[in-house]
Amino acid sequence: MGSYDVAVIGAGHAGIEAALASARLGCTTAMFTISLDQIANMPCNPSIGGTAKGHLVREIDALGGEMGKAADKCSIQSRMLNRGKGPAVHSLRAQADRVLYHSYMKNVCENQPNLHIKQAEIAEILFEDGTVCGVVTSLGAVYKVKAVIIAGGTYLKGRIHVGEVSYESGPDNVLPPQKLSDCLLSAGITLRRFKTGTPCRVHRRSIDFSAMEVQHGDETTVPFSFKTRDIIENKADCYITYTNENTHRVIRENLHRSPLYSGRIEGVGPRYCPSIEDKVVRFPDKERHQIFVEPMGLDTDEYYLQGMSSSLPEDVQLAFLRTVKGLENVEIMRPAYAIEYDCCDSTELKLSLEFKKISGLFGAGQFNGSSGYEEAAAQGLVAGINAARQIKGQQPVIFERSQSYIGTLIDDLVTKGVADPYRMMTSRSEYRLILRQDNADLRLTPLGYEIGLVSKDEYDALLDKISKIDAEIERVSHLNLAPGDEINAFLLKNGTSALSTGTKMADLIRRPQLGYDVLQQFDKNRTDLASDIREQVELQIKYKGYIEKQLDLVERMKKLEEKKLPENFDYSAIKGLRLEAAEKLTKLAPSNIGQASRITGVSPADITVLMVYFEQNGDSFYA
């Protein structure tokens, strides 16, 4: 039927970023999807971002990805989470119009040069001498390819569960691929069974919003994309309500009808996004659980009940929802369900997201054991970049933990593995003060330009921004403010000590009670700078000491990352290495000492033994 450089299996959030990256880097790319109507589908909540997830979206955008632009175009409510905490955990979240998001992304893909979209189920991947060479559709069409990216989401052998009923299906009742899993097993790839779920959708007219807490968008909104110049408008409100003891009673009385507790569900569910019945069982002393009531779009009356994922029968769902304040007369439009699906063992992947066993085969998204649109998109971008680079004979791009949340995500998946669907959180990064969402462009746009996904104009704009930030920091670091009645009265009013001698503006900015904009009236030579530049000036001054400490940690860890380890090495030959450590190291084949130190089951003492062994046996042992 033809030939392509790259075949992407799946057109969800991982598949789209993978296909766009590959095509934009000059590779002919085919993106296969079971249904064109499922491109960029949001089968769960139509929202982008959130705690730590907002960091990922900003990083995707800084590297030249599409998710941030789409979220800005399709946003109906924008909020910055965790404003009351430090800047490291500030995270942007946007409620999106589900249908508009699909249409926007489909249009972007349709108009992307080098990208061909095909509605087809891939039933088989062809291999030759351990290398990908083609794909075969369920209709028998054969395409020659040089690389394949599997971004199957929750579709592979998907099975829906609602109470006592279960049936083969992907999200939104789309037929799931059945044969691809068997092909992967035959190729020696380990598959696992995971589970996730989604709440029901309910009709707007059946909700009493007056009984709920309203949640408005931010008065001043912030875009996801560093390229967005339009103001993001808030066009809808969200609401909050709570479960109660009656809700929990109905659930407990019907647990025997839940496939989660009857044993019909075999897959492992997400630890950090459990179903409502799981919450009730695991937290019996909790009197109530929060429910976010959120619109699915501007042109629909469907509302999403975040926090109420369930696999109980539909009659039970209706019964427990009608015990909730504001939902007493609720009408269910789409029942909640749980879905089981096949995914790979992520420890069988390299940090490039290519499988160790098969050249040219990459994994991305929920197929790799993660959860969430943002985690999927980040992996898709990396897989698309590295598939294209492999075809061009270039070295893969490896994202470091100290460089990005994307690096943390991939390192966790590949090095530590996952026992349940992985969700990104700020606590997973040991470098979160320097990996803020506000500086994602400063950290990653130069790399995006080097890779080829960021244009020269965008890169030059970044250099101009950096120049203005540095110049302003330099200026306020030398600007001296003399003590006086006006400034001392101002300082005392703001809860900080008055000046007795001349003080640099930067030193005042560092005070917890003050900031760059707060002191504007005392800076007569200040020029009008963009808000993102002013933000960087303040943060870089205020947290300079802490940032320097984290950068020192990065340098120390970099020395371990630079100590490369040989490929296909039998670690059982090293005396003094514990048996568990030797087995884990041999199986996972870390590329360097730093990665080895993060493997579960490898202790600091084991790392010392490794370093002594390789140092005694000479540099020839390093790859």
In a domain, 429, yes or no: no
Same domain, 545 and 572: no
Q: Which pLDDT score is estimated for 622?
A: 53
Same domain, 515 and 464: yes
Same domain, 233 and 179: yes
Q: Which pLDDT score is estimated for 618?
A: 61
Distance from the Cα of residue 217 to its chain's centroid = 22
Instruction: Determine the Cα–Cα distance for residues 526 and 29; give it in Å rounded to an integer.
Output: 50
**How many domains would you assign to the chain?**
3
Instruction: Determine the Cα–Cα distance for residues 6 and 31; give it in Å rounded to an integer.
Output: 8
In a domain, 59, yes or no: no
Domain holding 160: CATH number? 3.50.50.60
Q: Which pLDDT score is estimated for 604?
A: 87
Q: What is the pLDDT confidence band of residue 620, given thresholds at 50, 70 and 90?
A: very low
Same domain, 257 and 316: yes
- CB atoms under 10 Å from CB of 148, counted, come to 29
Q: DSSP of 391-418, one letter per residue?
A: HTTPPPP---TTT-HHHHHHHIIIII--
Let me know: does 169 contact 335? Beta carbons within 8 Å: no
Instruction: Determine the Cα–Cα distance for residues 387 and 401; give it in Å rounded to an integer.
Output: 21
Instruction: Determine the Cα–Cα distance for residues 140 and 122; give it in Å rounded to an integer.
Output: 9
Least confident stretch, 72-86, 186-200, 292-306, 608-622: 608-622
Closest CA to 194 of 12, 343, 385: 343
Q: What is the pLDDT confidence band of residue 261, given thresholds at 50, 70 and 90?
A: confident
Instruction: Determine the Cα–Cα distance for residues 196 and 555; give it in Å rounded to an integer.
Output: 39
- The domain boundary, picked from 394, 419, 434, lies at 394
The 10s digit of each residue's pLDDT in 456-470 is 999 999 999 999 999
Q: What is the pLDDT confidence band of residue 623, given thresholds at 50, 70 and 90?
A: very low
**Average pLDDT for residues 82-94, to the nearest whole number?**
94
**Average pLDDT for residues 517-529, to the nearest whole number?**
93
In a domain, 115, yes or no: yes
Closest CA to 467 of 530, 509, 511: 530
In a domain, 414, yes or no: no
Instruction: Determine the Cα–Cα distance for residues 588 and 389; give it in Å rounded to an integer.
Output: 24
Residue 314 phi, psi (nearest 5): -65, -35
Q: Which pLDDT score is estimated for 365?
A: 97
Same domain, 377 and 468: no
Report DSSP state, residue 499.
Answer: P
Domain holding 607: CATH number? 1.10.150.570
Same domain, 155 and 257: yes
Alpha-helix residue ranges (DSSP H) falling in 193-285:
245-253, 259-262, 276-282
- The domain boundary, picked from 343, 359, 394, lies at 394
The 10s digit of each residue's pLDDT in 228-238 is 999 999 999 99
Predicted confidence (pLDDT) at residue 519 exceeds the cutoff of 70: yes
Closest CA to 352 of 322, 295, 325, 390: 390
Element at 290 (helix H, strand E): strand 290-295
Predicted confidence (pLDDT) at residue 213 exceeds the cutoff of 60: yes
**Average pLDDT for residues 349-371, to the nearest whole number?**
97
**Average pLDDT for residues 416-420, to the nearest whole number?**
92
In a domain, 303, yes or no: yes
In a domain, 312, yes or no: yes
The 10s digit of each residue's pLDDT in 530-554 is 999 999 999 999 999 999 999 998 9
Same domain, 582 and 534: no
Instruction: Determine the Cα–Cα distance for residues 329 and 211; give it in Å rounded to an integer.
Output: 12
Q: What percent of the chain has pLDDT over 70?
A: 99
In a domain, 365, yes or no: yes
Same domain, 266 and 356: yes
Let me know: does 105 contact 16? Beta carbons within 8 Å: yes
Q: Which pLDDT score is estimated for 271?
A: 74
Same domain, 201 and 295: yes
Same domain, 131 and 36: yes
Indicate the pTM of the whole model. Answer: 0.94
Predicted confidence (pLDDT) at residue 368 exceeds the cutoff of 90: yes
Q: Is 305 exposed, middle or buried (0-12, 13-18, 19+ CB in 10 A)?
A: buried
Amino acid found at 329? N
Amino acid found at 499? L
- The domain boundary, picked from 340, 363, 394, lies at 394
Instruction: Determine the Cα–Cα distance for residues 313 and 324; give it in Å rounded to an integer.
Output: 18
Which pair of structure tokens corresponds to residue 373?
A: 């649109």
Same domain, 527 and 569: no
Instruction: Determine the Cα–Cα distance for residues 585 and 353; give it in Å rounded to an integer.
Output: 18
Give the domain extent around 177: 1-40+105-394
Predicted confidence (pLDDT) at residue 621 exceeds the cutoff of 50: no
| Residue 194: strand, helix, or coil | strand
- CB atoms under 10 Å from CB of 497, counted, come to 10
Which pair of structure tokens corresponds to residue 239?
A: 């609401």
Residue-averaged pLDDT of the chain? 94
Residue 148 phi, psi (nearest 5): -130, 135
> CA dihedral in degrees (329, 332, 333, 335; nearest 10)?
170
Which pair of structure tokens corresponds to residue 556?
A: 């120390």
Domain holding 488: CATH number? 1.10.10.1800
